[in-house]
A = this chain, B = another copy of it.
Amino acid sequence: MHAARLSLEAAPLAGIPAIEPGADLAALIADAATRTGVKIQSSDVLVVAQKAVSKAEKRLRALDDVVPSDRARGLGAKLDKDPRLVQLILDESTDVVRAEHGVLITRTRLGHVCANAGIDSSNVPGGLVSLLPEDPDRSARHLRAQLRDRLGEAAAVVISDSFGRPWRLGQTDVAIGCAGLTPLDDRRGHLDSFGHELQATLLAVADEAAAAAGLVRTKEGREAVVVVKGLDRYVTEPDGPGAAALLRPREDDLFE
């Protein structure tokens, strides 16, 4: 129907300064858009780096303030990781999925399975680490509402982080939060070009949008926001189910 007109554009929003703890992200984004002449529209998707959201929400911890438990010390020794970092990872997690080969993979309290519960120390001042936002879907909804107030346009918001994969090297960006974007496009029941029902096609739209945005960030990771245009058909007026809809229910997990 609209096949010939589908196209995607992704570009970082220039002019966003380094995010300070407690910063007003919506104000910084709106200012940057105004100064650089970028028109943010309700059909756009803003992919915001998790680190920027974590900083704005003051989700930073000083390792010196952490007293590791015996369990954290044990895991730290086994994995050659700072036991204080291990303690923070355990505090943010419900389960340890794997702890081997120097890798600590956990299920976070929100249900994402990733290395180190998403905690890391790049792009934060020395001695500090950043935790994932407490509830990235809520963060996305909040940012979307604030941007709508400032810009009069209800662009969708995705909060992205880079996750590893069990059988593939390298990381890809995935959506840990979203608002106003259909996270999964259910193509089951549609007919393929031979008229058969399509099998097993449930496209992880929000994760692919995060991945597209990941390609236009630089190595130094300074771009807090990438504007993605062309996903109009997935942008919704309601905030929708968020990235929580992307989590496989635990009872279907074959790999825990």
Contact = CB atoms under 8 A, between A and B. Distances in A.
A64 interface: no
Q: Which of A107, A190, A202, A204 has the most CB of B within 10 A?
A: A204
Interface string A1-17: 11110111111101000
A150 interface: no
Given A12-B6, A254-B98, A204 B171 contact: yes
Contacts of A1: 218
Q: Size class of A's contact patch? A: 35 or more
Complex copy number for this chain: 2
Interface stretch (A21-29, A118-126, A132-140): A118-126
What's the dominant secondary structure at chain A's contact region?
Answer: loop
A252 interface: yes
Given A214-B208, A248-B169, A254-B105, A196 B8 contact: no
A190 B219 contact: yes
A167 B212 contact: no
Contacts of A121: 196, 199
Interface in A242-256: 245-248, 252-255
20 contacts: A2-B218, A7-B10, A8-B8, A8-B10, A8-B215, A9-B9, A18-B193, A113-B167, A122-B198, A124-B194, A165-B248, A166-B166, A168-B204, A169-B246, A170-B207, A170-B246, A171-B200, A171-B204, A187-B219, A216-B230
